[in-house]
Amino acid sequence: MMKRLLGAAAALVLAGSIAGVAHAADKLKVGFIYLGPIGDLGWTYQHELGRQALVKELGDKIETTYLENVPEGPDSERAIEQLVRAGNKLIFTTSFGYMDPTLKVAKKYPNVHFEHATGYKRDKNMSTYSGRWYQGRYIQGQIAAKMSKAGVLGYIGSFPIPEVVSGINATMLGAQSINPNIKVKIIWVNTWFDPGKEADAAKALLDQGADIIMQHTDSPAAMQVAAERGKLAFGQDSEMIKFGPKAQLTSILDTWGPYYIARVKAELDGTWKSEDTWGGLDSKMFEMAPYTNMPDDVKKMAEETQAAITSGKLHPFKCPIVAQDGKEVECKGGDHLADGQILGMNFYVKGVDDKLPGK
């Protein structure tokens, strides 16, 4: 009986896969490399949501494949090349650490197009894309300053790379626009995802007198700690409200779907070309989760700031920017810092009471 069942199953699968192959022949193959397991929230999950949105929109014209949990070392070059060899013509590599491997494979296969998230190296068949998350951090800084009774924010940093540092600075500038004496305490956990470490950091920050938790890490552990202690917190990457229904103020939601759809459409039309996309609130590269657990006036302020940033009226890094040492930062972008200065940011703004690691 079991044997018959297995045989039947096998036949079915075989039939299915043959039909699939015949069908897929003229479809564009699109590949994705994921850093983590997909799970149900966080960085990789948001990319997976983007892929699903892509399939929903263009599923009849494309076939997508992903490789998950690909470490950022030498394995990633092989994983990318495996996707190329499987016939994928457009490949999204969704983490910073895939930059050099993507470039190497791109040089080897000039007829395949590559899209690398959050990096800065490009080639004629390799684009980059990223989000201006510092815009969201500025809004969060304003909310935090309004909501904090102690005037002390707790910030869980992942790695002291420019993206994270510019996030801290944008938060601080936003908060200072409300309360010039606001303080921030920072703990570097040296990981993107480690619920244990993140929870410990959140507890330590609360014990040190912070009453609002902000994070640049992936797990909802800090949100849970804040919720347990009756404090407030911001989510990261994903909607985390279910981990702190009374704690989450808002969250920066990575929404890659529109970008993925646009790029695949360009590929289908034959208009794809290498570009550097750094999308902000205006291009919906990310969104803010609903503003919750705050009075109406704070919510109104947040919405107004969001509208001002979206329309371009307000730039979080509006000059003059004063660095931690009291010196004014050279203003290379007219009335605000140039993109290059934000992308390579390795200084704190005035008022951050912490020493930047590695400086």
Choice between 76 and 250, CB closer to another protein: 76
Stretch that binds another protein, among 40-48, 77-85, 169-177, 223-231 (CB under 8 A): 77-85
Report the run of H or E that residue 201 belongs to, with start and end.
helix 195-207
Choice between 66 and 234, CB closer to another protein: 66
Binder of another protein out of 39, 52, 55, 82 (CB under 8 A) = 82
Site for another protein in 187-216 (CB under 8 A): 190
Choice between 75 and 303, CB closer to another protein: 75
310 binds another protein (CB under 8 A): no
Rounded Cα distance between 337 and 165, Å, is 14
In a 13 Å sphere around the CA of 134, the CA atoms on its Cβ side amount to 23
Q: Which positions from 155 to 174 touch another protein by CB under 8 A, shown as an x/- string?
A: ----xxxx------------
339 binds another protein (CB under 8 A): no
What are the structure tokens assigned to 339, written together?
Answer: 């993109």
Binder of another protein out of 97, 195, 280, 351 (CB under 8 A) = 97
Rounded Cα distance between 314 and 337, Å, is 12
Choice between 66 and 92, CB closer to another protein: 66
343 binds another protein (CB under 8 A): yes
86 binds another protein (CB under 8 A): yes
What are the structure tokens assigned to 248, written together?
Answer: 């989450």
Binder of another protein out of 26, 73, 230, 297 (CB under 8 A) = 73
Rounded Cα distance between 359 and 352, Å, is 15
Whether the CA torsion 295, 143, 215, 117 is positive or negative: it is positive
Classify residue 40 by its DSSP letter. S
Stretch that binds another protein, among 9-17, 52-60, 130-138, 277-285 (CB under 8 A): 9-17
Choice between 52 and 82, CB closer to another protein: 82
The position carrying tokens 């404090």 is 231
Choice between 208 and 346, CB closer to another protein: 346
The region that residue 91 occupies, defined by phi over 0 for left and psi between -120 and 50 for alpha, beta otherwise, is beta
The string over 87-111, giving b where at least 16 C-beta atoms fall within 10 Å of a residue's C-beta and e elsewhere, is ebbbbbbbbbbbbebbbebbeebee
Closest CA to 121 of 135, 136, 105: 105
311 binds another protein (CB under 8 A): no
Choice between 14 and 308, CB closer to another protein: 14
Closest CA to 263 of 12, 62, 97, 18: 62
Task: Write down the least CB distance from residue 351 to another protein, Å.
Answer: 21
Cis peptide leading into 160, omega within 30 of 0? Answer: no
Contact footprint for another protein (CB under 8 A) = 6, 9-10, 12-14, 17, 31, 37, 65-69, 71-75, 77-79, 81-83, 85-86, 96-97, 100, 104, 108, 120, 159-162, 190, 343-346, 357-359
